[in-house]
Structure 1
Amino acid sequence: MPERAQNYEQLKDDISRAYPGLSKQLQRIARFALEKPHDLALGTVAAIAEAAQVQPSSMIRFANALGFGGFSEMQQLFRGHLVERSTSYRDRIEQMRRGNGRPAGTGGTQVLHQFVDEAITELSHLEENVHARDMKAAVRLLGGAPQIHVLGQRRAFPIASYLAYALRQLDLRTQLLDGVGGMLGEFVRGIAPGEVLVAISTRNYSPEVVDAAAACHQRGVAVIAITDSALSPLKASARVSFELGDDSVQQFRSLVGQVCLTQALVVATGHYLSDRASPRRRRTNGS
């Protein structure tokens, strides 16, 4: 039996490492646990098994596979995480919104209310999923790189395009890898160690982005991943990985969290560059 995790962050890492070797049913539980930790923290075995579409006995096997004697023992780590992270008013408001809904609107107004609600919920969880140490590490990589390359395809392309544009406004050498003319592979092979690749992809993951990140990682290029889950194939290649949560149950998947993160990265990088330049200015002025 593997050694059991002592806290939620260790448990997330253990689930991510164990995931490829798990059965299909246990993989389904793993994904549910990382996508909906609050539900796993508060539910009964039967309720969670029903939500994850597995047999209740599979919940016990999942806990055992991670080194726990039983499901309740593992669930305590999820409950501890919920206590640490929850802000009671926010959770109450969210529960009220889910229970009561908004007054029915007409036409586009009702749709707008729905998307605003979903965006608020997404942003309320963003701070839980993004850690200060990862922001600091990513900013140092971006601010110190001789060249930054940004890659995102399909629904991630607008995020990649904005990030490349905004980093250029900081006078950082930045290239958007758009793959025009089928030249993506050639551009990726030209990325040198010491440079940085920002790879953006969520489920269903773009194979070209995953392959590019893996190829760069093998050559020693620093990869910053913006993705959805600890189970993302980008995580293995990333020096810094932002896992913003999986919204794949929504019919129209939101980009709000990714936009907010990229804006924060750009502004924080700007502060970092200004702070780094200040000592040089003082030395110049004093000489």
Structure 2
Amino acid sequence: MSRPPGPAAVAAEDASRVAARLQEIVEGHRLSPSQRRIARYLLERPHEAVFLTGNDIAEAVGISQPSVTRFAIAVGFTGFPEFRDHLRAALRDGQDAAAEPTGLNPVQAMIDSELRNLEQLRDGLGDTGRLREVAAGLASSRPLPVLGLRVSAPLAHLFGYLAAKAHPDVRVIDAPGSTMEDRLSRAVDAGATWLLAFGLPRYPRELREGLVWARRSGLRVALVTDHAVGPLAEHADAVLAAPVSSRFAFDSQAAPSVLCAALVHTMLEALPTREQASIEEFENSAADRRLFLPG
């Protein structure tokens, strides 16, 4: 087999394809702490990942070479060489795509990258078991605290606004520090069993501290983030991942927004019938009060 091009030849777009391939591989697998370290190391270096040997990774992460082999087996391969070949296929996919001129201008190309993120999210939800499991847990938590700080706060508020149409007690928390801990503590005292957290890059240190505090308080944590293996994932009981595009001046969150909507939709289906009926009651009331302009 011919050797792939050297690291200097791996363009940013190729590295993005490798990162997407890596995320697809690790999605849905329960990894040990050392295996999560391997995955995180590779996800942080997609431009190098296709060239590294098992020994390279073991030395960099501070583990044994057999641990790298066990990681490859844990994510569905017979060994590390097969795992690495699967990553290298992403480069060949990129070469095939480059051979087809798109005629897109730079803004269209950025939007096209977001379309690929949505396709990746769609494909990852072929099995909705994990989504339904998390949604059922959120539906049963009374109250339901929802945490999102800094850039993740708007998604937390979007979820909270929509979910509150049926869930009787949704509490959105968007302030760090003592305010965050106080509101989480009051939710626990009131009977909360789950916390839904949104953690998108860049990841606030206070958010990690909030997840740690929540689990110590007995809450189960569902995390919506951009990587199944990342700096926040190890502090969650369930992770729902949607890729974020970094090709814009600021990260675009189209896929996480769609995942947020899908989670609300699935959670509402898990609520008791009497609470689902409150959505129709709101619509009838809104019509009577003429809250919205006619469409």
How far has the Cα of 1:56 moved from its partner?
8.8
Larger helix proportion of the pair: 1
Matches within 5 A, 1:144-183: 144-179=140-175, 183=179
Instruction: Output the CA distance in 2 between the equivalents of 1:180 and 1:207.
Output: 10
Any unmatched runs of 5+ in structure 1? 1-7, 40-45, 279-287
Cα pair distance change 1:218/1:99, threshold 3 Å: farther
Q: Contact 2:55–2:65 (CA<8 Å) still a contact in 1? A: no
TM normalised by structure 2 equals 0.65
Match of residue 48, structure 1, among 43, 47, 50:
50
Q: Is the 8 A contact 2:149 2:176 kept in 1?
A: no
In structure 2, the residue matched to 1:281 is none
Q: Which amino acid aligns with 1:221?
A: L
Q: Determine the C-alpha separation between the residues in 2 that align with 1:47 and 1:144.
A: 41
Structure 2 SS opposite 1:229: coil
Q: Distance in 2 between matches of 1:74 and 1:30?
A: 16
Residues 60 and 252 (structure 1 numbering): CA distance in 2 closer, same or farther, change over 3 Å? same
**1:66 and 2:64 are equivalent in the alignment:** no
Q: Is the 8 A contact 2:166 2:275 kept in 1?
A: no
CA distance in 2, matches of 1:248, 1:124: 16
Distance 2:250 2:33 in 1: 26
Tell me the equivalent position of 1:143.
Answer: 139
Q: Work out the CA distance in 2 between the residues paired with 1:207 and 1:73.
A: 35
Residue-pair matches, total? 240
1:122 matched residue in structure 2:
117
What does the per-residue CA deviation read over 1:42-100, in whole Å, with 9 as the maximum and x for residues that have no partner?
xxxx8823xxxx689615767925252999822425767999xx9xxxx97x8765444
- Please say if 1:17 is aligned against 2:34: yes
* Native 8 Å contact 1:143 1:272 kept in 2: yes
Q: Check whether the contact 2:176–2:206 (CA below 8 A) recurs between aligned residues.
A: no
Aligned to 2:102: 102
TM superposition shift of 1:272: 2.1
Is residue 229–residue 243 contact of structure 1 (8 Å, CA) maintained in 2?
A: yes
Is the contact between residue 13 and residue 230 of structure 1 (CA under 8 Å) also seen in structure 2?
Answer: no
Alpha-carbon spacing, 1:55–1:95, altered in 2? closer, same or farther (3 Å): closer
Structure 2: runs of 5+ lacking an equivalent: 1-24, 73-77, 277-295
- What is the TM-score of this pair, normalised by structure 1? 0.66
Within 2, Cα distance between the matches of 1:136 and 1:121? 24
Query: What is aligned with 1:3?
Result: none
State the one-letter code of the partner of 1:102: T
RMSD of Structure 2 on Structure 1 (CA): 4.1
Aligned pair in 2 of structure 1 residues 120, 188: CA closer, same or farther (>3 Å)? Answer: same
Between the aligned residues of both structures, percent identity stands at 15
Structure 1 residue 124: Cα displacement: 1.0
Counterpart residue number, 2:82: 76
The 1:55–1:158 alpha-carbon spacing in structure 2 relative to 1, beyond 3 Å, is same
* Greater length-normalized contact order (CA 8 Å, ≥ 6 residues apart): 2
